[in-house]
Amino acid sequence: MSETQNQDDRRTRVDPKLLEILVCPLTKTTLQYDAAAQELISRAAGLAYPIRNGVPLMTVESARRLEDSSPPPASERGQR
C-alpha cells in the first residue's frame, strides 16, 4: 500500500472506542457507523452526522435528514 493510501485510510477511519461512546446529541441514542458514506446514523432522530477527516461533526446544523441527501434548511435547524 502506498503512503497516500495509508494517509487516506487514517483520515477515513474513526476510532472504534469513540464510536462506542458517541450518541445522538438530540435523542441520546446509539449511532450506526456507515463507513461507505462516512456518516454516523441516528435512526431515532432521522439524521446522518458527517465524518470529516476522521472527526464526527455532531451538530444538528451539520447533519442531513435521512429522507433526503441535502442538509436541513436553515429554518428547520434547531427545531428538532
Q: What is the CATH number of the domain that holds 19?
A: 2.20.25.10
pLDDT, position 13: 76
User: Percent of the chain, pLDDT > 70?
Assistant: 69
Q: Is the pLDDT of residue 60 over 70?
A: yes
pLDDT, position 23: 97
Total domains present in the chain: 1
pLDDT, position 31: 96
User: Which of 70, 68, 56 lies closest to 24 in space, CA to CA?
Assistant: 56
Residue 77 inside a domain? The answer is no
Three-point CA angle 42, 75, 30, nearest 5°: 10
Listed ranges 3-17, 27-41, 62-76; the one with the highest mean pLDDT: 27-41
Looking up cell 462506542 gives: 20
Looking up cell 474513526 gives: 14
Residue 80 inside a domain? The answer is no
Residue 13 inside a domain? The answer is yes
Residue 50 inside a domain? The answer is yes
Residue 76 inside a domain? The answer is no
pLDDT, position 67: 83
Residue 79 inside a domain? The answer is no
Enclosing domain of residue 54: 3-69
Strand partners, 41: 32, 48
Residue 75 inside a domain? The answer is no
